[in-house]
Amino acid sequence: MSTIEMIRDSAAAIAPRGADLSRVRALRFTRPGFDPAVWREMGEMGWIGLRVAEDAGGIGLGMAEYVALAEEMGRELVPEPLVQGILAAALLEGCGDAAGLAALLEGKALPLTAWQETPDTLVAPGSAQAPRLFLPMAAGASGFLLPVRKDGGMALHAAEGTPEIVETQDGGHYGTLRPEQGARLGTLPAGLLDRALDEAALATAAMLLGVMEGAFAMTLDYLRTRQQFGKPIGSFQALQHRAVDLKIQIALTRASVEAAAATLDAGATEDARRAAVSRAKHRAAEAALLVTREAVQMHGAIGYTDEYDVGLYLRKAMVLAHQFGSPSLHRRRYIACAEAEV
């Protein structure tokens, strides 16, 4: 069995395929919006340290395994902020904060990286005093990591402050932090933060792939069971054509996400890495919004009710589509990186 298959199988412990979404519903619009016990379980299973080297306490797997796990999390709408935890782990490992990294990898802490200073960007300027925006699940953070540009490099500081919370469509929330700079944890190696943000963007694309797969599977079940004029509506040619179009979008997204993961694992140049990530994130965001909207419509009137689960996939897609860069940002970045590679 390959490591990717093992990762997918391990995901069933927390997010079994086809399970009901009662846990997800129970956590919507609550604080912290996820289950700390499940977060600790993710740590115990090694997921938070998936990209951390073995000698630093992680399991040292590649992006292929990471996107496989992220896809499974997206498919079951898991609310725990795994991508944000893996991002923080990369920075703590890079700056040499062994104690902070150990607590995070065990699931005993959740330091969120306060990197974003402007909307719709994948660049971290590292300004010392600027408010940090769009921190997912900030109410559940045990603390914050603050990248600050100093002496031509990037230092990592602990940060304090109480974030201002705004709820999101999917029942989660974002926080805005006006940080109080704390102890310096170390210096980040050159380019580490950029690479970690690219990896987070690609993992988010994989989550979007999982979201559209979950919505599509639910829609196929509905088409097979809902009857009209004495036959399943899935036998109607018009709906079959629409379903095939959505299946094609999912297949193209999978190809793009997996190709980007292979590119990163092969040690691509900076421009090639960025182009691959942006191609995958743009396609995943656009396709997920299309597939989940179509899934709601193909369910008819019941699909528009909040009580019916298919709408949860659309809400999740609306939030994830803009995390770590919107489709338009990634389209522009892909064009710029592709031109630079020529």
- At 233, the pLDDT band (50, 70, 90 cuts) reads confident
Overall pTM surpassing 0.95 (yes/no): yes
pLDDT score, position 3: 92
Helices (H), 96-191: 98-105
- At 234, the pLDDT band (50, 70, 90 cuts) reads confident
DSSP string for 78-123: --S-HHHHHHHHHHHHHHT-HHHHHHHHTTS--EEE----SSS-S-
Query: What's the pLDDT tens digit per position in 249-266?
Result: 999 999 999 999 999 999
- At 30, the pLDDT band (50, 70, 90 cuts) reads very high
- Count CA atoms closer than 13 A to 270's CA, side-chain side: 9
pLDDT score, position 228: 84
- CA nearest neighbour of 249 among 212, 282, 300: 212
Question: In this structure, are residues 156 and 184 in contact, taking their beta carbons and an 8 Å threshold?
Answer: yes
Query: What's the pLDDT tens digit per position in 110-154?
Result: 999 999 999 999 999 999 899 999 999 999 999 999 999 998 899
Report the amino acid identity of residue 166: V
Backbone angles phi and psi of 100, in degrees to 5: -65, -40
Most confident of 8-12, 180-184, 213-217: 213-217
Question: In this structure, are residues 191 and 269 in contact, taking their beta carbons and an 8 Å threshold?
Answer: no
Pairing status of strand 227-228 against strand 153-160: unpaired
Pairing status of strand 227-228 against strand 111-113: unpaired
Q: State the Cα–Cα distance between residues 137 and 47, nearest whole angstrom.
A: 18
Domain ranges of the chain: 193-341
- In the predicted model, what is the mean pLDDT of the chain? 96
Question: In this structure, are residues 111 and 144 in contact, taking their beta carbons and an 8 Å threshold?
Answer: yes
- At 19, the pLDDT band (50, 70, 90 cuts) reads confident
- Largest CA-CA distance found in the chain, in angstroms, rounded: 73
**Three-state SS at 253:** helix
pLDDT at 227 over 80: no
Structural fold of domain 193-341 = Butyryl-CoA Dehydrogenase, subunit A; domain 3 (1.20.140)
pLDDT score, position 175: 98
